Amino acid sequence: MEKIASKLRKENVGKVLVGESIANHTTMKIGGPADLFVEPSSVQGLETTIQFIKKIGIKWRAIGRGSNLLVSDKGIEGVVIKLGDGLDSLEINGTEITVGGGYSLVKLAAVLARKGLAGLEFAGGIPGSLGGAVYMNAGAHRSDMSKIVKKAYVLFEDGTFEWVSNEDLKFSYRTSVLQKERPGICVEAVLQLSEGSTEVIKAELQKNKDYRRDTQPWNFPCAGSIFRNPLPEYAGQLIEKAGLKGYQIGGAQVSELHANFIVNKDRATAEDVLNLINYIQNTIKDKYNIDLHTEVEIIGRK
């Protein structure tokens, strides 16, 4: 890997590290090393990296700010490309916004609120990047990314780049076409917002941030909601009703504040979290005959 790293460094693609711990790049603070870690400093750096990876035929995957990831203790094979600060461009043209996939969703919501642009208030307090939000169709408070994304510039699994329309992104509850049907990562997106009162937008944004702060356990490392809601039921309510709040395996604990969160209470491993996920799923199936499916993405070596 050192030879590959050396060649990429010569191309000035951005930060290139061998054996970087992915725990440093996830909100859960869990995950083994990547064989090679690249954080491009620009879209051009990303394209150069992908061209080189395709040429030598090595495995790769992209991550954002790591807020919805559980990474194996054994790490990730091949190259991990982080869409971070080098891919955080922002262009505001009236009510149409073009924004890089690495842009912080929390920061973007705040910037747009100050501009009097409505549509992203639901994202108040949601961690992670714009690219990850498109990929997961992130949402809250009866809204989500599908309501505002016009199109996305996507890097697909085969290394090609393509603009994809809202319709072709096939958004649904916490999912998009990019997850399984056409695996890819959002490099940039065009959002359509609307004009509104700055004071009203900022107040709504602050209300959503306060709600998230008061009801979700961000005082411990975590990855956001672990399970998709099996509507019309809610995962957190089912887990709490089953008496699992505070239940712990190893260093991983069902949050005492919100039962659909698993927190890294004390040097938890990915194995601890996976064992706890399985225990919760089995318990809910036994008690209520309901299957819980994970919202958090689980990646890395088995």
Instruction: Give pLDDT, residue 171.
Output: 96
Domains of the chain and any CATH numbers: 2-85 (3.30.43.10), 89-215 (3.30.465.10), 235-299 (3.90.78.10)
Instruction: Give pLDDT, residue 126.
Output: 83
pLDDT class for 142, splitting at 50, 70, 90?
Answer: confident
Instruction: Give pLDDT, residue 215.
Output: 86
Burial of 140 (0-12, 13-18, 19+ CB in 10 A): middle
Instruction: Give pLDDT, residue 212.
Output: 82
Q: How many residues are recorded in the chain?
A: 302
Give the integer Cα–Cα distance in Å for 209 and 204. 9
Instruction: Give pLDDT, residue 87.
Output: 93
Alpha-carbon dihedral sign for residues 65, 69, 75, 80: negative
Q: Examine the pLDDT at 157 and tell me if it is beyond 90.
A: no
Most confident of 60-74, 112-126, 218-232, 275-289: 275-289
Q: Examine the pLDDT at 164 and tell me if it is beyond 90.
A: yes
Mean pLDDT of 189-202: 96
DSSP state of 296: S
- Higher-pLDDT residue of 84 and 111 is 111
Which residues are CB-neighbours of 226 under 8 A, at least 6 positions away?
A: 235, 260, 261, 262, 277, 280, 294, 295, 296
> How distant, in Å, are the alpha carbons of 184, 280, 289 from that of 254?
31, 9, 20
pLDDT in tens, 122-139: 998 788 899 999 999 998
Instruction: Give pLDDT, residue 214.
Output: 86
pLDDT class for 180, splitting at 50, 70, 90?
Answer: confident
pLDDT class for 219, splitting at 50, 70, 90?
Answer: confident
Give the integer Cα–Cα distance in Å for 227 and 261. 8
Give the integer Cα–Cα distance in Å for 270 and 252. 9
**How many CB atoms neighbour CB 121 within 10 A?**
24
Distance of CA 13 to the CA centre of its chain: 23
Q: Pull the structure tokens for residue 100.
A: 């890089």
Q: Examine the pLDDT at 195 and tell me if it is beyond 90.
A: yes
**Which residues are identified as catalytic?**
174, 225, 295
Instruction: Give pLDDT, residue 23.
Output: 97
Query: What's the whole-number average pLDDT of the chain?
Result: 94
pLDDT in tens, 229-279: 999 999 999 999 999 999 999 999 999 999 999 999 999 999 999 999 999
Give the integer Cα–Cα distance in Å for 16 and 280. 38
- Higher-pLDDT residue of 68 and 274 is 274
Q: If DSSP codes are grouped into helix, strand and coil, which group holds residue 31?
A: coil
Phi, psi of 280 (to 5 degrees): -65, -45
Instruction: Give pLDDT, residue 300.
Output: 95
**Letter string b/e over residues 67-82, b meaning 16 or more CB atoms within 10 A of that residue's CB:** bbbbbbbebbbebbbb
Q: Examine the pLDDT at 189 and tell me if it is beyond 90.
A: yes
Distance of CA 239 to the CA centre of its chain: 23
pLDDT class for 154, splitting at 50, 70, 90?
Answer: very high
Q: Examine the pLDDT at 85 and tell me if it is beyond 90.
A: no
Instruction: Give pLDDT, residue 221.
Output: 95
Instruction: Give pLDDT, residue 216.
Output: 86
Of 66, 86, 54, 56, the closest CA to residue 155 belongs to 54
Give the integer Cα–Cα distance in Å for 273 and 71. 10
Residue whose entry in the numeric block shows the structure tokens 């780049």: 161
Instruction: Give pLDDT, residue 211.
Output: 87
